[in-house]
Amino acid sequence: MAVTREQVIEALKKVKDPELNKSLVDLGMVKDIEIAGPNVRVTIALTMAGCPLKDKIKQDVKEAVKSIAGVEEVSVVLTTMTSAERAKLFGQEPSEMEGMKQVKNVIAVASGKGGVGKSTVAVNLAAALSKRGYKVGILDADMHGPDIPIMLGIKERPVGSRGMLFPLEKYGIKMMSTGTLAGEGTPIVWRGPLVNKAIKEFLGHVSWGELDYLIVDLPPGTGDAPLTVASTIPISGVIIVTTPQKVALSDVRRSVGLFLKNDIPILGIVENMSYLKIPGSSEVMDIFGSGGGEKIAKAFKLPLLAKIPIDPDIRKGGDEGRPIALEENERSEPFFQLADKVIELVEKAKSNKK
Ligand X SMILES: Nc1ncnc2c1ncn2[C@@H]1O[C@H](COP(=O)(O)OP(=O)(O)OP(=O)(O)O)[C@@H](O)[C@H]1O
Q: Is 287 in the site for ligand X (CB under 6 A)?
A: no
One of 60, 140, 142, 201 touching ligand X (CB under 6 A): 142
Nearest 10 degrees: Cα torsion 328, 329, 330, 334:
-10
User: Which of ligand X, Mg ion, none binds 61 (CB below 5-8 Å, type-dependent)?
Assistant: none
DSSP state at residue 219: P
The CB-of-305 to Mg ion minimum distance in angstroms stands at 18
How far, in Å, CA of 191 to CA of 50, rounded? 13
Q: Is 110 in the site for ligand X (CB under 6 A)?
A: no
For ligand X, which stretch binds (CB under 6 A), given 13-21, 158-166, 257-265, 305-313? 305-313
How far, in Å, CA of 40 to CA of 338, rounded? 57
Sequence-ordered list of residues with C-beta below 8 angstroms from that of 12, at least 6 positions apart, any chain: 23, 24, 25, 30, 42, 61, 64, 65
Q: Is 271 in the site for ligand X (CB under 6 A)?
A: no
Burial of 16 (0-12, 13-18, 19+ CB in 10 A): middle
For ligand X, which stretch binds (CB under 6 A), given 23-31, 65-73, 90-98, 109-117? 109-117
Sequence-ordered list of residues with C-beta below 8 angstroms from that of 16, at least 6 positions apart, any chain: 22, 23, 24, 60
Nearer to ligand X, 24 or 324 (CB): 324
Nearer to ligand X, 120 or 222 (CB): 120
The CB-of-104 to ligand X minimum distance in angstroms stands at 25
How far, in Å, CA of 189 to CA of 82, rounded? 16
- Taking CB positions, which residue lies at the least distance from Mg ion? 119
One of 147, 212, 251, 271 touching ligand X (CB under 6 A): 147
How far, in Å, CA of 339 to CA of 122, rounded? 10
Q: Is 311 in the site for ligand X (CB under 6 A)?
A: yes
One of 315, 344, 347, 350 touching ligand X (CB under 6 A): 315
- Cβ neighbours around 228 below 10 Å, total: 20
User: Which of ligand X, Mg ion, none binds 105 (CB below 5-8 Å, type-dependent)?
Assistant: none
One of 50, 52, 117, 292 touching ligand X (CB under 6 A): 117
First-to-last C-alpha distance (Å) of the chain: 74
Nearer to Mg ion, 74 or 324 (CB): 324
Restricting to residues 195-254, name those near ligand X by CB under 6 A. Answer: 220
Residues lying near Mg ion in the complex (CB under 5 A): 118-119, 147
Q: Is 292 in the site for ligand X (CB under 6 A)?
A: no
How far, in Å, CA of 138 to CA of 119, rounded? 10
Closest CA to 244 of 282, 278, 286, 284: 286
Q: Are 28 and 85 in contact (CB under 8 A)?
A: yes
One of 54, 118, 135, 200 touching ligand X (CB under 6 A): 118
Nearer to ligand X, 114 or 303 (CB): 114
Q: Is 273 in the site for ligand X (CB under 6 A)?
A: yes
User: Which of Mg ion, ligand X, none binds 311 (CB below 5-8 Å, type-dependent)?
Assistant: ligand X
Nearer to ligand X, 114 or 209 (CB): 114
| Whole-Å CA distances, 183 to 2, 164, 173 | 38, 18, 21
Closest CA to 144 of 97, 109, 187, 96: 187
Q: Is 187 in the site for ligand X (CB under 6 A)?
A: no
One of 49, 136, 216, 314 touching ligand X (CB under 6 A): 314
The CB-of-171 to ligand X minimum distance in angstroms stands at 17
Q: Which residues make up the interface to ligand X (CB under 6 A)?
A: 111, 114-120, 142, 145, 147, 220, 272-273, 308, 310-311, 314-315, 318
